[in-house]
Amino acid sequence: MRIEAVAYDHPDAADLIEQVQQEYVVRYGGPDVTPLSASEFLPPHGVFLLGYRDGSPVATGGWRARDSDVVGLEDGDAEIKRMYVVPAARGLGCARAILGELERRAAQAGRKRMVLETGLRQPEAIGLYESAGYREIPKFGVFADEPDSRCFAKELVDSTYW
């Protein structure tokens, strides 16, 4: 899979974002309502990635800088948003590749910890994050009071000095 950094509103990104939002509708009855803007995913305060297989976009994910101005978050956090793999590409390692690249780029940008929110109706996502070293933390943001919501974090290691 080829991974490229793109704008959040890139046409291929917009298509996959719409697909992930529809997945949330099916699983939870509505889209993700987290407030965000495309500018939050611009370097050096964020990035948005697309994964391509055979020239087609199959995976996406981004991170945006977050700090302690949000209850439950810390200065230096990077929040993962819009992780998604199209059904035909699931099980091929695409999500793990996107996650690894998000972590690498966040660490290079000086972020100290990766955080995310997911839900109980996404057991495959929870499995991915836990297998990649993420641990459950208290809920934060707009999902803090949602019973089906779970939040996770992982300390990042800056690999620029290795």
Average pLDDT of span 18-23: 96
Count CB atoms within 10 A of the CB of residue 93. Answer: 14
Neighbours of 136 (CB within 10 A): 12
Q: Is the pLDDT of residue 159 over 60?
A: no
* Token duo for residue 5: 């950094």
Instruction: Domain 2-161: state its class.
Output: alpha beta
Residue 118, classed as helix, strand or coil, is: strand
Q: Where are the alpha helices (DSSP H) in the chain?
A: 11-28, 94-108, 123-131
More confident residue, 160 or 157: 157
Q: Looking at the predicted structure, is the pLDDT value of residue 160 above 70? A: no
The answer to whether the CB of 53 falls within 8 A of the CB of 1 is yes
Residue 90 pLDDT greater than 90, yes or no: yes
pTM (two decimals): 0.94
Residue ranges of domains in the chain: 2-161
Q: What is the pLDDT of residues 26-82, one digit of tens each?
A: 999 999 988 999 999 999 999 999 999 999 999 999 999 999 988 889 999 999 999
pLDDT category of residue 162 using cuts at 50, 70 and 90: very low
pLDDT at 33: 87
